[in-house]
Amino acid sequence: MRVERLHSWQVSISQALDIQRRLATQVSRGNEIRGPRFIAGVDISVKRESGVATGAVVVLQYPELRIAEAKVVSGKLELPYIPGLLSFRESPLILAACEGLTVIPDLILVDGQGIAHPRRIGLASHLGLFLNTSTIGCAKSLLCGQHEVPGEEPGSYAEIVDKGETIGVALRTKLRVKPVYVSIGHKISLELAIYWVLECCRGYRLPEPTRLAHLAAGGNLKPVSNTMTTEAGYREKLL
> What pLDDT is recorded for position 223?
60
DSSP state of 105: -
Domain total in the chain: 1
The answer to whether residue 29 is domain-embedded is yes
Beta strands in 88-221 (DSSP E): 107-110, 134-139, 157-162, 165-171, 180-186
pTM of the entire predicted model: 0.93
pLDDT tens digit string along 223-237? 655 454 544 444 444
Domain that holds residue 101: 13-232
Q: What is the CATH number of the domain that holds 124?
A: 3.30.2170.10
The answer to whether residue 6 is domain-embedded is no
pLDDT score of 239 more than 70: no
pLDDT tens digit string along 122-135? 999 999 999 999 99
Of 77, 25, 23, 68, the closest CA to residue 48 belongs to 77
Q: Which helix (H) or strand (E) element contains residue 89?
A: helix 86-99
Average pLDDT taken over every residue of the chain: 92
